[in-house]
Amino acid sequence: MEATVSYSQNIMDDEYEKFIRRMNPPRVVIDNESCKNATVIQVDSANKHGILLEVVQILTDLNLIITKAYICSDGGWFMDVFNVTNQEGNKITEEPILDYIMKSLGPDSCFASSMRRSVGVTTGMDHTSIELIGSDRPGLLSEVSAVLTNLRCNVVNAEVWTHNTRAAAIMQVTDEENGGAVSDPERLTMVKKLLCNVLRGSNKSRDAKTLVSPGVTHTERRLHQLMFADRDYERAMGDGSDDKERPNVNVVNWQDKDYSVVTIRCKDRPKLLFDTICTLTDMQYVVFHGNVDTEGPEAYQEYCIRHIDGSPVKSDAERQRVIQCLEAAIERRVSEGLKLELCTTDRVGLLSDVTRIFRENSLTVTRAEVTTRAGKALNTFYVSDSSGYPVDAKIIESVRQTIGQTILRVKGNPEELNPVQQESPTRFLFGGLFKSRSFCNFGLVRSYS
């Protein structure tokens, strides 16, 4: 009976949203004239909880940099202005991108659909999605990848984040034999069981979770949700973190307007706005007014918020929780360690082989993004020394010699590495470097830059 009522309510909500949308279709204006160094995108629409995140998510997914934003969603109308550039800091002039923005945010879009039904989940029959959360440790990715490889699962897309001793990952895997989704129930049960054992390791005090589903999520949105639910924002007493390096987040109540005002100052980086808006939305807060400015190396964000129940922050405990959660959201994507980029022909077990070499050279992966496109593996790894010391340039060169210096490149500070005579990567490419597949260990991750 409850399921029937819920289904009927969803239908009513859909029809009401369609009616409101017909009466007040979204209006999008893209202006390349009024601002000297950015494209100005104005979005007007009927207001609804979560619309701000939907718009920011669409712009972020296009790898656009939001340099300024003016947010106003008081009352029944949503009016936001975004100054955006491409990755090179130039205006957006490519017609396909401009057309996509208009179609995604304009009258024919679906971005205003209910957030209850748009957590980022879409169906797909070409792969199986695996969500992981557990305690982080050196070698964890190696063990996870070994399990998947031995179960004949090929990782085609994945992303992994680590923060505050926790690790979360979302991977899209296919059946090695047919290249499609893994459909055998017994095999999926075994995947979940073995991965949970790996994630749990020797730490029995914290839960490890594995979820397998026949669809995909919006990876970054879901990673935030996984780590938030895992309470990665809770810091142990005396954790040794440097307060000077942490984001400056403050929350005060504006009594006259019945708002809570959130201010954030931190080092600017791509997708910062998405991370903060995502967290506020998932914590059930509504942004009524906001101002974002990222000119220069520091980003400044200010939001007037209320809880979805209409109240501002009610207690000091709630205020501290908002601060901690926003700090964690900002820090999760901060890439510590040396950046390595790998580009080569894809093959089964490639990720396991690559990250196995990292592990054997005492390198731990703090964050990684990997994808496969048209038969090519395009991977980004952030690695650090497992013992906490700076990464040794000689170790990096040894790793590059093993994998192939034209295949694995150092990004960020390549001048610190001494040139070494290049060796042939033939053994690596054809998998002959390893005695058997059972030795292929860790690789896990996805590209999304």
- Secondary structure, 3-state, 361-402: CCEEEEEEEEEEECCEEEEEEEEEECCCCCCCHHHHHHHHHH
Within this chain, do residues 340 and 225 fall inside the same structural domain, yes or no?
yes
Q: What's 369's domain CATH number?
A: 3.30.70.260
**pLDDT of amino acid 48:** 83
Query: Is pLDDT above 70 for 440?
Result: no
Query: Is pLDDT above 80 for 120?
Result: no
User: Which structural domain range is residue 102 located in?
Assistant: 1-117
**pLDDT of amino acid 73:** 86
What's the number of domains the chain is made of? 3
Q: Is residue 369 part of a domain?
A: yes
Domain boundary residue, one of 282, 298, 332: 332
**pLDDT of amino acid 239:** 56
**pLDDT of amino acid 40:** 97
The token duo for 172 is: 């899209």
Q: Is residue 65 part of a domain?
A: yes
Within this chain, do residues 164 and 220 fall inside the same structural domain, yes or no?
yes
Within this chain, do residues 290 and 351 fall inside the same structural domain, yes or no?
no
Q: Is residue 416 part of a domain?
A: no
The token duo for 49 is: 């909880």
24 pLDDT band, cuts 50/70/90, is low
**pLDDT of amino acid 444:** 34
Q: Is residue 439 part of a domain?
A: no
**pLDDT of amino acid 372:** 86
pLDDT in tens, 60-94: 999 999 999 999 987 778 899 999 999 999 999 99
What 3 state SS string does 412-426 have? CCHHHCCCCCCCCCH
Please give the biggest Cα pair distance in the chain. Answer: 72
Q: Is residue 447 part of a domain?
A: no
**pLDDT of amino acid 300:** 97
Domain boundary residue, one of 76, 98, 117: 117
Within this chain, do residues 164 and 291 fall inside the same structural domain, yes or no?
no
Within this chain, do residues 210 and 357 fall inside the same structural domain, yes or no?
yes
Comparing 402 with 48, the larger pLDDT belongs to 402
Q: Is residue 448 part of a domain?
A: no
Domain boundary residue, one of 89, 117, 145: 117
Query: Is pLDDT above 70 for 176?
Result: yes
Comparing 83 with 156, the larger pLDDT belongs to 83
Within this chain, do residues 327 and 274 fall inside the same structural domain, yes or no?
yes
Within this chain, do residues 190 and 306 fall inside the same structural domain, yes or no?
no
CA dist., res. 150 & res. 440, Å (int): 9
Rounded to the nearest 10 degrees, the angle between the axes of helix 51-61 and helix 95-105 is: 160
Percent of the chain at pLDDT > 70 equals 78
Q: Is residue 316 part of a domain?
A: yes
Within this chain, do residues 2 and 113 fall inside the same structural domain, yes or no?
yes
Query: Is pLDDT above 90 for 441?
Result: no
Within this chain, do residues 351 and 225 fall inside the same structural domain, yes or no?
yes
Instruction: Over range 288-299, report the average pLDDT.
Output: 92
CA dist., res. 329 & res. 349, Å (int): 32
Within this chain, do residues 345 and 400 fall inside the same structural domain, yes or no?
yes
**pLDDT of amino acid 12:** 52
Within this chain, do residues 343 and 217 fall inside the same structural domain, yes or no?
yes
**pLDDT of amino acid 238:** 56
Within this chain, do residues 226 and 340 fall inside the same structural domain, yes or no?
yes
127 pLDDT band, cuts 50/70/90, is confident
Instruction: Over range 105-133, report the average pLDDT.
Output: 60
**pLDDT of amino acid 123:** 34
Q: Is residue 386 part of a domain?
A: yes
Mean per-residue pLDDT of the chain: 82
pLDDT in tens, 201-260: 766 656 788 888 766 568 999 999 999 999 999 986 555 555 667 899 999 999 888 999
Amino acid at 135: S
**pLDDT of amino acid 425:** 47
**pLDDT of amino acid 390:** 83
Q: In 138-294, at which residue ranges do the beta strands (DSSP E only) sit?
A: 153-163, 166-175, 209-213, 215-216, 248-254, 259-267, 285-293
